[in-house]
Amino acid sequence: MAKRIQALGSNGKIILDMGTGPGTLALIAAKKGAKRVVATDIDPACIEAANRNAKEHGLSNVIEVVQSDGFEKVSGSFDMIIGNLPFRDKGWENIVISAKDLYSRFLTEAPNYLNKGGTILIVTASFADVGFIRSLVDNTGLTVKELVEHKFHTDWIVFQLT
């Protein structure tokens, strides 16, 4: 995913990084000149880590970290929307994540937040239900490019939607 972001370029772009975790992809986009990055996650620990990392890299003026379940707290529109979401169901404390529900919500809603000429990137892996995600991607009606990289005995599939 990092390679794809760099290949497409983030210079001057407004970017949404959903499921930012510690903010790695948001940092890459910001370091490569993004105008603004909104980095969201549902997990408060990730929000804290992403904020800390943005600050440590001197990029708090570019990266806005927002705690949000999917698009719940997202506003505005973006030139690039990145989704590196959980591949499997997960639950901790009072948070329960259904991976299929999340991908489904992401791919239904993301096109509504995309600027004209923008790109949506979503990544999955061969151990996940790739067929399910492919069907969601196809249902968006956008043009789809599928890029596969083999690493750690796993195929990593990035869907690029424009």
The answer to whether residue 52 forms part of the interface with ligand SAM (CB under 6 A) is no
17 - beta bridge partners? 39, 82
Site string (2-41) toward ligand SAM, x via CB under 6 A = ----------------xxxx--xx--------------xx
**Least gap, CB of 105 to ligand SAM (angstroms):** 8
Q: Which of 97, 125, 144, 147 binds ligand SAM (CB under 6 A)?
A: 97
Of 29-37, 42-50, 54-62, 152-160, the window that binds ligand SAM (rule: CB under 6 A) is: 42-50
**Least gap, CB of 115 to ligand SAM (angstroms):** 21
**Least gap, CB of 116 to ligand SAM (angstroms):** 25
Q: Which two tokens stand for residue 17?
A: 């990084």
The answer to whether residue 69 forms part of the interface with ligand SAM (CB under 6 A) is yes
Q: Which of 43, 103, 157, 161 binds ligand SAM (CB under 6 A)?
A: 43
Within 8 A by CB and 6+ apart from 110, the residues are 71, 81, 83, 120, 140
**Least gap, CB of 81 to ligand SAM (angstroms):** 13
- Catalog residues that contact ligand SAM under the rule CB under 6 A: 18-21, 24-25, 40-43, 46, 69-70, 84-86, 97, 102
